[in-house]
Copies of this chain bind each other. A is one copy, B any other.
Amino acid sequence: MRATIMENDGSVHLAEVPDAAIVHPTDAVVRITASCICGSDLHPYHRGLGDRASKRAGHEFIGVVEAIGADVTTISVGDYVIAPFAISDGTCVNCRNGIMTSCLHGGFWGSDDEQGVLVDGGQGEAARVPQADGTLVKVDREVDDALVPHLLALSDVMGTGHHAAVTARVGEGSTVVVIGDGAVGLSGVLAAKRLGASRIVIMSKYAERQAMATRFGATDIVESRGDEGIAAVIELLGGIGADSVLECVGSQGSLDQAAGVARPGGVIGFVGAPSGTFPTRPLFSNNLTYTGGVAPVRRYIPELLAEVLDGTLRPGDVFDSTLALADVAAGYQAMDERRAIKVLLKP
């Protein structure tokens, strides 16, 4: 089969790899109908893989189950399924605590599974899915083309934006600041709106992202950054700042920005892979809360899927580009150059 390989220098290309196949009795094999490129894929795309010679790329996909191992009980051949970006058994203590990303028997796409066997990446034609019963969520509905992007968004970005909003305690009437206007930040706007926020400020410099944010529910846009950006937000939000901040970037600048725009007692839900350090003094002085982390999206899929299926939630609107899997390299380039917000890949 064909799958995307990221080389040591970060470059990507499609290559022939061994067909996905059952290895353990708890595995399934999924024929991928759609996958996508993540903002977090751009980090190794830029800085390379360090010690690793190469890796299988991609961690977001949906598709149809083609085979199951002998111990799989809740998923059947022919099921249409969503695969979240982390593998989890759904039964260990961390899964029971809702932190499926810390599953004691889990793992991540493109890395070795618990038994040391390589797991396929998501940007390919098919994938072996370890812990299939815990990992996959079945879509109980005929899936047409219009539904595909919305289902695919549940594999990562929508659940990640939702995690930022939930951990930041967004609720009815909350004032919210979203830092980051990529697909996760925009999904965070959608999540905050859905949870009842009365005011949603997005910090964004790009016209098309501002427009999408507004469609998703943003009430205010702030283009400036640093101290000027902080002052603009504080002025918009009653002179004290936001109840909840969704930090969807992870750089030092955005972490400082987040601490600066939160009101005393405010909560920062942090889902950007961190390249910076949390400022400690403002947490202490202003009673801020830093929370969030790598999103356990598996936990959120059932709740969000119900609204996707009844048409009230349209997270797939973040996809503004669809390419053939063969054009995966062009997709990375388009996202890297900010010509695309998020690229959907069709094998």
Complex Cα gap A270–B283 (Å)? 9
| Interface flags, A260-288, vs B, CB<8A=1, else 0 | 00011100001001101110110111111
Report the nearest B residue to A272, measured CB to CB. Answer: B284
Are A284 and B277 interface neighbours, CB within 8 A? no
Residues of B within 8 A of A167 (CB): 289
Residues of B within 8 A of A93 (CB): 238, 240
A94-B265, A280-B278 known; A294-B287 Cβ under 8 A: yes
The listed residue (B102, B280, B288) touching A276 by CB distance below 8 A is: B280
A264-B94, A277-B277 known; A99-B287 Cβ under 8 A: yes
A69 at the interface (CB under 8 A from B): no
A293 at the interface (CB under 8 A from B): yes
A287-B102, A289-B289, A290-B290 known; A97-B264 Cβ under 8 A: yes
Could you tell me the distance in whole angstroms from the C-beta of A59 to the nearest C-beta in chain B?
15
Could you tell me the distance in whole angstroms from the C-beta of A267 to the nearest C-beta in chain B?
8
Interface residues of A toward B: which range?
35 or more
A90 at the interface (CB under 8 A from B): no
Complex Cα gap A279–B318 (Å)? 32
A171 at the interface (CB under 8 A from B): no
Complex Cα gap A172–B173 (Å)? 29
A94-B240, A264-B94 known; A270-B293 Cβ under 8 A: no
Residues of B within 8 A of A250 (CB): 284
A322 at the interface (CB under 8 A from B): no
A8 at the interface (CB under 8 A from B): no
- CB within 8 Å of B: which A283-317 residues: 283-294, 296
A101 at the interface (CB under 8 A from B): yes
A44 at the interface (CB under 8 A from B): no
Complex Cα gap A263–B293 (Å)? 13
| Interface flags, A235-277, vs B, CB<8A=1, else 0 | 0001010000000001000010000000111000010011011
19 further interface pairs, Cβ-Cβ under 8 Å (given A93-B240, A289-B291): A97-B263, A97-B265, A98-B265, A99-B286, A101-B264, A102-B287, A167-B289, A250-B284, A278-B278, A278-B280, A283-B290, A283-B292, A284-B294, A285-B294, A286-B293, A289-B290, A290-B290, A290-B291, A291-B291
Q: Can you pick out 16 interface pairs between chain A and chain B where the beta carbons lie within 8 Å of each other?
A: A94-B264, A99-B287, A101-B287, A102-B264, A102-B285, A102-B287, A270-B284, A274-B280, A274-B281, A283-B290, A285-B293, A285-B294, A287-B294, A288-B293, A289-B290, A290-B290
